[in-house]
Amino acid sequence: MRLSKWGYQADFVVYPLLIAGVALHTLWAATAPRGAAWLAAVAVGLPAWTLIEYTLHRWVLHRVPPFRSLHAQHHEHQRALIGTPTWVSAPLFLGLWVAMAHAAGRTTAGGLAAGLMTGYLIYAFIHDAVHHRAARPGSWLFRAKVRHALHHRPGAHCNFGVSSGAWDAVLGTAADR
Ligand SMILES: [Zn+2]
Ligand SMILES: [Zn+2]
């Protein structure tokens, strides 16, 4: 979806606040073991995001209408301010947090939600940088730019991971040329 300048930047303001809010909600006056359990859940949620990112990109954004045509706009106009609005993604994360709290308890759900949202925020930073920032050849960002540029080639079916190339390697969609 095409966004205004402020709409495009909203993720970078709203998500740090949401992550801090979820952390405070879970950890306020928490005991040390509960804090440790929360951190363990963060350590699961953070890498779990990379699989969600891959899954959503490969099978939802590239296949399921109307997401397919919305994402096609980003493929056509790579530097335009196109993305998922914060007012769509944030309620989904918060709904997931509430559902997980019912299923797994407040501490685990708080850690998982904080880890997943941190993963999403890192993804948003990287995807923005990949399209809008220059990178020194040989740097990590340069390699991420090359990997994502290959995904953007017309007709390409590769490199669906933006924040990580791991799932492309595991699921056979990695390409380096
Ligand atoms: Zn794509
Ligand atoms: Zn892109």
Kindly identify the ligand whose nearest atom is closest to the C-alpha of 61.
Answer: 1
| Alpha carbons 106 and 60: distance in angstroms, whole number | 29
The tokens of 130 are what? 């990949």
> Are residues 5 and 110 in contact, defined by beta-carbon separation less than 8 angstroms?
no
CA of 158 to the centre of ligand 1 (A): 9
pLDDT at 14 over 80: yes
CA of 19 to the centre of ligand 2 (A): 25
From 11-25, 26-40, 126-140, the region with the lowest mean pLDDT: 26-40
Identify the pLDDT of residue 165: 95
Return mean pLDDT, the chain.
Answer: 94
Confidence tier at 5 by pLDDT (50, 70, 90): confident
CA of 162 to the centre of ligand 1 (A): 9
CA of 141 to the centre of ligand 2 (A): 14
CA of 115 to the centre of ligand 2 (A): 23
CA of 20 to the centre of ligand 2 (A): 28
pTM of the model: 0.94
pLDDT at 134 over 80: yes
CA of 43 to the centre of ligand 1 (A): 27
pLDDT at 24 over 90: yes
CA of 52 to the centre of ligand 1 (A): 14
Half-sphere exposure of 48 (CA within 13 A, CB side): 13
pLDDT at 1 over 80: no
Q: What is the pLDDT of residues 149-160, one digit of tens each?
A: 999 999 999 999
Identify the pLDDT of residue 4: 83
pLDDT at 136 over 90: yes
- Euclidean distance between the first and the last CA atom of the chain, given in angstroms as a whole number: 29
CA of 6 to the centre of ligand 2 (A): 19
CA of 17 to the centre of ligand 2 (A): 25
Kindly identify the ligand whose nearest atom is closest to the C-alpha of 82.
Answer: 2
Q: What is the pLDDT of residues 100-125, one digit of tens each?
A: 999 999 999 999 999 999 999 999 99
Instruction: Name the percent of the chain lying above pLDDT 70.
Output: 100
pLDDT at 129 over 90: yes
Cβ-based burial of 155 (10 A; exposed 0-12, middle 13-18, buried ≥19):
exposed
CA of 142 to the centre of ligand 1 (A): 18
The full set of domain ranges for the chain reads 5-134
Q: Which residues pair with 2 in a beta bridge?
A: 82
pLDDT at 8 over 80: yes
